[in-house]
Amino acid sequence: MSTMHYAEVSTTGAGGKLDEVDIESGELLYPGLSKGENQLRWGFIRKVYGILSAQILLTTAISFVTVLYTPVNDLLKGSPGLLMFFAFLPFVLLWPLHVYQQRHPLNFVFLGLFTVSLSVTVGVAVANTDGAIVLEALILTSGVVASLTAYTFWASKKGKDFSFLGPVLFTGLMVLLLTSFMQMFFPLGPTSNAVIGGVGAILFSGYIVYDTENLIKRFTYDEYIWASITLYLDILNLFLTILRMLRSSNN
């Protein structure tokens, strides 16, 4: 089923006359969406945000265990090979996640492994950061995500389109990845790190807007796993970028 309709939204009134639907006061997600498909899209969105909430709760729980249970943190810090395994495992799991995203229950099994492996690396980053900085990063991330999500839903209802952000964000991501790789061999100063962190925060904020609009308009109803993954990665990367930026400025 196509997720985009550009025909005029209307209802049949008395005498067979067509009356336009007031999209400003109604519940339509964006102009041109039929009523029936609007209900399906809202159900899809609720499903994706339910999965996303479970991922965030799992990441929070694993991070708490890593922080509070010292032997786990010591094991990971003392085993670089194990930590590298958890760092690269999500990239490996992206392939089966893409292939089996519509095969239940394999899709949720791979999604759980993907979330756990990322949560371990997040837990190590949090465990080795001052608690006040972690709290600040968490509050800032929550505020930014909530604000950008609300704005994107409002803008979509007004008929705004953010598809043009795709190539721009991808180019920025490639530059950010290359810069981070170069830092391994040519370390930069704290000021440069703070600037890169700020650029990264803006980049992942843009991705939250772009992927939220994809959730509203473009993802098909069978792509709930992939939609939750993209939003989860956007939020996680935003949090880690803000955490790194605050940690650099504190040092």
Encode pLDDT of 52-105 as tens digits: 999 999 999 988 888 887 777 777 777 777 778 888 888 888 898 888 888 888
Dist CA 16 CA 207 (whole Å): 44
Instruction: Say what the pTM is.
Output: 0.83
pLDDT score for 190: 67
Name the strand (E) or helix (H) holding 12: strand 10-12
**Residue 20, SS3 per DSSP:** strand
122: nearest Cα among 192, 180, 209, 56: 56
- Which residue type is seen at 190? P
Across residues 16-26, what is the average pLDDT? Answer: 41
Encode pLDDT of 154-204 as tens digits: 999 988 989 999 999 999 999 888 887 777 777 766 667 777 888 889 999
Residues in the chain: 251
Give the pLDDT band (50/70/90) at residue 22: very low
Name the strand (E) or helix (H) holding 212: helix 190-217
162: nearest Cα among 215, 198, 221: 215
